[in-house]
Amino acid sequence: MASFRYAVSVMPKEGILDPQGRAVELSLPHLHVAGVHAVRVGRRVELTVDASDEASARDTVEGLAGELFANPLIESWTVELVAAASSTAGAGAAAGVAPGAR
């Protein structure tokens, strides 16, 4: 078993009104900032998944992203692996590597 930490970034889809992004953009003149535009605000969800391998961990995260973290009608998402740790560190990794390494 290993642990995989993911970051899921959820953003409003292109063309969907994003009042949060608009509000941020409207505040920029108060900061005397010019030349910044197309501000979009989304959310980031981080989570750790215990699984036998990265593929099955990613399946779980993709499932959660489409079902819970994002509403596919209005939001898109990307999944990024940010860390991985094997619970049986040395032995597990060695056993995993050996057959493929001839």
Partner 1 sequence: MKVGVVVFPGSNCDRDALHAARLAGADAELLWHETPDLHGSDAVVLPGGFAYGDYLRAGVLARFSPIMAAVRDHARRGGLVLGICNGFQVLAEAGLLPGALLRNASLRFEHRWVRVSVERPDTPFTRGMPAGTELRMPVAHGEGCYYLPDAPLAELEAARQVVFRYAPPEGNPNGSVHDIAGIVDVTGRVCGLMPHPERASERLLGSDDGLLLLRSLVESAAATAVGAAR
Cβ(10)–Cβ(47) below 8 Å: no
The two tokens of residue 91 are: 């032995």
39: left (phi over 0), alpha (psi -120 to 50) or beta: beta
If binding is defined by CB under 8 A, does position 23 make contact with partner 1?
A: yes
Binder among 1, 16, 33, 84 for partner 1 (CB under 8 A):
16
If binding is defined by CB under 8 A, does position 71 make contact with partner 1?
A: yes
Closest contact distance (angstroms) between CB of 7 and partner 1 is 16
Per-residue binder mask for partner 1 (CB under 8 A), 74-93, x = binder: x-------------------
Cβ(77)–Cβ(8) below 8 Å: yes
Contacts with partner 1 by CB under 8 A lie at 16-17, 19-20, 22-23, 68-69, 71, 73-74
